[in-house]
């Protein structure tokens, strides 16, 4: 089909449509064909030709695929296959029937809806579950890989219409032996979601991702990213210098406990921040479940289907296609 990624038939993938594209690549929906009429819908992430010729970019694209292939967790978009067709590399990934948080927030805004604090905390807790798993991941010899995602943001969190929340795009992650790291020389990531140390050319660890998660949670709760400026430089300045607000003044439904969680996650002093994602996860889940029953995947699924006019989830809904985030 014209305008679609042309892939060798030997791979048994049939490209159906383009889902999205960014400055560095495209994502397509494809069908993986097997024996006896077997069909599996997948997403194919393909790098643009001009970047494929850049050795470092290509190495990191391949490194991302190898790294994420072994990250098997319900809150991380799964990678199935790395391939090369006619000189173009692609990654076959789990196809998510849903939207990313940027699209989710835009729909909330267009319908003048406000997300409840407990649902915002639930979404964030699923992101943190995925991060806790990635941060603790070891190689085959039991050595910690030292994974730091470094790009936790609205565009890189998917919410499926079934209610699953999944972290994606480890393209600029740190991990020993997988991706070439230029930390201290260049700043990678989205400025308004960066930790202060990331924005200040310093070495990062898992606490950097925790700060970014704090930005995501505050954004969900108050309907805006308080660190986002008009320019990248202004966003970085806000991350480094702007007083962290009392979030209770921005949303009256935020109580003192939740405000304290936000301030600990967003502490500029790294030693005052949550040390481990597991610690933040405990506080988030205690917040929504300590009184008993709280939000579930089913709760979120019902909410997002109603928000996007999907109705009750069915085979018909599932066949409408999906989307997946890609770095712009």
Secondary structure letter of residue 320 according to DSSP: T
d(CA 30, CA 180): 30
The DSSP secondary structure of 204-223, one letter per residue, reads --HHHHHHHHHHHHHHHHHS
- 30-43 CB burial, b ≥16 within 10 A, e <16: bebeeeeeeeebbb
Closest-CA residue to 304 (of 169, 111, 156)? 111
The H-assigned helical ranges of the chain are: 49-52, 55-69, 101-110, 117-135, 196-199, 206-222, 232-241, 256-265, 277-289, 297-307, 315-318
Residues listed for the chain: 328
d(CA 260, CA 284): 11
Residues with catalytic roles:
151
87 three-state secondary structure? coil
Name the token pair of 264: 């600990």
Q: How many CB atoms lie within 10 A of CB 45?
A: 28
- Helix 206-222 / helix 101-110 crossing angle, nearest 10 deg: 10
Q: Is residue 59 within 8 Å of 66, Cβ to Cβ?
A: no
Distance between CA 123 and CA 221 in Å, rounded?
A: 11
């Amino acid at each position: 089909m014209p305008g679609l990624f042309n892939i060798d038939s030997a791979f048994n993938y049939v490209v159906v449509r383009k889902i999205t594209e960014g400055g560095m690549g495209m994502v397509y929906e494809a069908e993986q064909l097997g024996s006896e009429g077997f069909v599996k819908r997948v997403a194919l992430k393909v790098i643009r030709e001009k970047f494929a010729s850049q050795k470092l970019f290509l190495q990191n694209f391949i490194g991302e695929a190898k790294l994420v292939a072994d990250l098997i967790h319900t809150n991380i978009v799964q990678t199935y296959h790395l391939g090369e067709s006619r000189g173009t590399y692609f990654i076959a990934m789990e196809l998510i029937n849903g939207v990313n948080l940027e699209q989710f927030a835009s729909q909330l805004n267009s319908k003048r809806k406000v997300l409840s604090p407990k649902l915002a905390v639930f979404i964030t807790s699923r992101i943190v579950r995925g991060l806790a798993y990635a941060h603790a991941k070891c190689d085959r010899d039991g050595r910690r890989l030292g994974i730091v995602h470094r790009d936790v943001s609205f565009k890189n969190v998917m919410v499926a219409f079934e209610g699953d929340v999944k972290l994606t795009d480890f393209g600029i992650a740190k991990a020993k032996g997988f991706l070439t790291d230029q930390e201290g020389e260049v700043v990678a990531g989205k400025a308004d979601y960066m930790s202060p140390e990331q924005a200040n050319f310093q070495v990062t660890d898992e606490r950097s991702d925790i700060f970014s998660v704090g930005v995501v949670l505050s954004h969900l709760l108050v309907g805006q990213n308080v660190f986002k400026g008009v320019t990248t430089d202004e966003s970085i300045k806000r991350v480094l210098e702007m007083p962290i607000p009392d979030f209770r003044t921005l949303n009256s439904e935020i109580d003192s406990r939740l405000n304290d969680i936000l301030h600990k996650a967003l502490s500029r002093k790294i030693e005052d921040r949550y040390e481990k994602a597991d610690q933040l996860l405990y506080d988030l889940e205690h917040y929504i479940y300590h009184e008993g029953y709280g939000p579930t995947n089913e709760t979120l699924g019902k909410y997002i289907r109603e928000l996007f006019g999907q109705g009750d989830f069915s085979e018909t809904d599932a066949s409408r296609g999906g989307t997946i985030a890609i770095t712009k």
